[in-house]
Chains A and B, each alone.
Chain A
Amino acid sequence: MTQGIVEQRGNLGIEPTVLKAIYGQMARIRAVDKAIQAGLSSGKFLFTYWPMTGQECIPATIAQLITARDYMVTTYRGIHDQVAKGVDLYGMFAEALGREGGVNKGKGGSPHISDPSSGSMVTTAIVGAGAPIANGLAISAKERGEDRVTIVNFGDGATSIGAMHEAMNLAGAWQLPVIFMCQNNQWGEYTEIPAYTASPNFYGRAEALGFRGVQLDGNDPAAFYAGMQDVIAYVRAGKGPVFVEAHTYRMGPHAGVGDNYNAAKAVLAAAKERAPVEKTRALLIDAGICTEDELTALEAAAKAEVDDAVTRAMASPVTPASETITDVFADVASVPQRGHFPLREAEGAFAGETKMMSFVEAVRDAQAVAMDANPEVFLLGEDVGDPHGGVFGTNKGLQKKHGNRRVRPTPISETAIIGAAIGASIAGMSPIAEIMFVDFLGVCLDQLANHAAKQRYMSGAATHAPMVVRVQLGGGMGGFGAQHSQSLEAWLTHTPGLKVLYPSTPLEAKGMLLSAIDDPDPVVVLESMMLLFTQKQEVPLGDYRIPLGVAKLKREGSDITLISYGWEMLNCLGAAEELAKEGISAEVIDLRSLVPIDYARVLASVTKTGRALVVHAAVEFCGLGAEICSTINEQLWGSLKAPASRLGADYAPMAYSHAIETSQVPNAGAIIARARAIVKGA
């Protein structure tokens, strides 16, 4: 700090022009807050509001220290953050009202604003879930050599949830340029400190994780400005993350309008005494920086800006039902729709040099090709680094070649892994996240299902998460037990916004993974241990693609179509061989891609054979087989020789006992018996 600035700051501790600018943002936030509360109170607006009244100073001050280039992540209680970050007020009000003119086409609403033009990248309604995503945005800035900082806002209540711990730990380990901005308003929804925590403070947790934490008065613009100036400079200079605990007080209830009726009256009254908007206004006048008239004019201008935004937002049409399936994926044709079965072009024959590869080698080769071609492709996951190259060796040699910033071994932290991939992909990078076993989806499902899958839709395609998640499955191997042997693809296929691939051969594993890495949507690729090491095949060298949504005829037949995917393909092909000896000609279709699904080729085959059996290792009840059979039966009723049928695992957790596991999941014998019964009409 130069001597000159100190003199200018004088007794105020802040330059007068900066203090006035902070108040200008506070006035805009206050005008927005009042307009929302008035609109809701009169019945003019009908939406849920999570008031931030009392917390205006924090974003109003930060706004003086950052630009639209800096990234922000915030929460549903983040209207003040949006206003100060520079989200257009018309677009913001229209979004809150669910209108076409909304910054996200009215498809996300105020809890899901995403506006890359102002740097407001992600707004989440899941407490604590923004922090893992902020890490990913910060990774992109760091790897690209940009001096952007990422600020993730959350309340004190979010410090209790696991995602926050995972994100803080990863940011510390990787020294990411991210600021964890804890707006400590003393309340976690309807529960007050210390009812929900015995922690004496929150900033101390950063020190425990090996990085800097600071505590600031978030209601005092001069002190907060000075503190944040230092913090932002520190993070921008690449010195690592900082956790800021900014003290403030929430005047309103968790949701709705009016006062925080849970607060003790005396406490609320005392908090109002130190509320930043009124205090800053008085300071500007007392210090002779502004006159009463100037401030009145400034407030009137803020109200006029808000009134104009509200008037125009109310005139914007309600986003129509015709928008329902747009923005689920980049292309509407990938969305499963009743009666709509596009025939996508299949891959041609592959020419050129080949090499004998296992499934593992094919996955490794696909990643090697993608990483050579695009410096923004990077890999993260548990143990992915050399010499192991992942617990199954799918990445062996990649860290040695590309270094530990493009092949990033992570803490045992699935939520942090998926969140980092989401954030980096939103910024335009191409991350590949490896989740060691599909069974661990449960510990990161919020990031995958609530964030990766929905970002394109909730943002009205303003942003999206074009990432790949590679997941291994242990089912069929025997001895892994109930938490390492499941087939959970139905969790994924039942989540709109995720594409799901399950290749069964090395050649397809490589060609499909390369397509997935370039796909504009989040793609989960399932890799079964039953396939990783069991087969070898000539696989083309270099880059080639197998398109998503194209099933493959693996064996021609005329009496019945066996439809399957993944490792059950081994059983289906074996069963078809045995059935042929009995004089039953089974056609076998490998779906390969579960979403988008290729009903065109499935229906064409069953039209020919008149019979269908869908086989999967997943539990039969509510499985993908039920969905496929229902579509076949509805579409081909009248021309079928037998109703389409499904064969999946018994409704039970996967057993450790070898005798149970080998019988609870369809084996070749079970497939043969069922196919025989269908063909013979038994």
Chain B
Amino acid sequence: MSTILTIPKLEMSMSEGTLAEWMVESGTAVKEGDVIYTLETDKTAREIEAPASGTLIQKVADGETYPVGMEIGEIV
């Protein structure tokens, strides 16, 4: 079963976030809890951990801003 990665809503007023940097290359194996990317909002920067173990597939480029809920990758 794959796990879809989306831009999270970290606080009530958040509508978009910047995927500052992928910390793991696409196609690499990750374990649940590994930091996979950093997310920046207007309030804070946060390291985002893998919600599941598997192979990370990136679907968007880093350095860009995306809306909350947008699919950015998958762990298969």
Question: Which A residues have a C-beta under 8 Å from some C-beta of B?
Answer: 38-44, 46, 48, 253, 255-259, 261
Contact = CB atoms under 8 A, between A and B. Distances in A.
A38 B12 contact: no
B12 to A, nearest CB: 5
B49 interface: yes
Contacts of B5: 42-43
A43 B71 CA distance: 9
Contacts of A255: 11-12
Contacts of B44: 258-259, 261
B69 interface: yes
Contacts of A42: 3, 5-6, 8, 48-51
19 contacts: A38-B49, A39-B51, A41-B8, A41-B10, A41-B48, A42-B8, A42-B48, A42-B49, A42-B50, A42-B51, A43-B5, A46-B68, A46-B69, A48-B12, A257-B10, A257-B11, A258-B10, A258-B44, A259-B44
A256 B8 CA distance: 10
Chain A CB within 10 Å — which of B5, B10, B14, B69 has the most?
B10
Say what secondary structure dominates the interface of chain A. loop
Contacts of B8: 40-43, 46, 257
Nearest to A48: B12
Given A261-B43, A261-B44, A46 B9 contact: yes
Contacts of A40: 8-10
B74 to A, nearest CB: 11
Contacts of A38: 49, 51
Contacts of B68: 46
A259 B3 CA distance: 26
A261 B11 CA distance: 12
Given A38-B49, A261-B44, A43 B6 contact: yes
Interface in B7-46: 7-12, 14, 43-44, 46
Nearest to A40: B8
Size band of the interface chain B makes with A: 20 to 34
A222 B50 CA distance: 37
A520 B9 CA distance: 39
Nearest to B9: A46
Given A40-B10, A46-B69, 18 more contacts: A38-B49, A38-B51, A39-B51, A40-B8, A41-B8, A42-B3, A42-B48, A42-B49, A43-B6, A44-B51, A46-B6, A255-B11, A256-B9, A256-B11, A256-B12, A257-B8, A257-B11, A261-B44
Contacts of A44: 3, 51
Say what secondary structure dominates the interface of chain B. loop
Contacts of A253: 11
B48 A256 contact: no
Contacts of B7: 43
Nearest to A39: B51
What 4 pairs across the A-B complex have the smallest Cβ distances? A256-B11, A43-B6, A42-B51, A43-B8
A253 B74 CA distance: 29
A253 B14 CA distance: 13
Contacts of B14: 256
A43 B69 contact: yes
A270 B14 CA distance: 28
Chain A CB within 10 Å — which of B3, B5, B9, B49 has the most?
B9
Contacts of B9: 40, 43, 46, 48, 256
Chain B CB within 10 Å — which of A40, A41, A253, A259 has the most?
A41
Nearest to B17: A43
B72 to A, nearest CB: 8
A41 B51 CA distance: 9
Contacts of A48: 9, 12
A44 B4 CA distance: 8
A581 B68 CA distance: 70
A261 B13 CA distance: 14
A580 to B, nearest CB: 62
Chain B CB within 10 Å — which of A38, A41, A42, A44 has the most?
A42
Contacts of B51: 38-39, 42, 44
Nearest to B4: A43
B59 to A, nearest CB: 12
A369 to B, nearest CB: 51
B49 A41 contact: yes
Contacts of B10: 40-41, 256-258
Nearest to A256: B11
Chain A CB within 10 Å — which of B14, B51, B69 has the most?
B51
Nearest to B33: A38
A255 B12 CA distance: 6
B49 to A, nearest CB: 6
Contacts of B48: 41-42
Contacts of B12: 48, 255-256
Interface in B44-71: 44, 46, 48-51, 68-69
Nearest to A257: B10
Contacts of A259: 44
B62 to A, nearest CB: 16
A38 B50 CA distance: 9
B2 to A, nearest CB: 12
A583 B52 CA distance: 82
A293 B64 CA distance: 45
A258 B3 contact: no
A43 B48 CA distance: 10
B6 A41 contact: no
A40 B12 CA distance: 12
A38 B5 CA distance: 12
B76 to A, nearest CB: 15
B9 to A, nearest CB: 6
A44 B69 CA distance: 9
Nearest to A42: B51
Contacts of B50: 42
B20 to A, nearest CB: 14
A44 B5 CA distance: 7
Contacts of A39: 51
A39 B69 CA distance: 13
A115 B58 CA distance: 42
A35 B63 CA distance: 28
Contacts of A258: 10, 44, 46
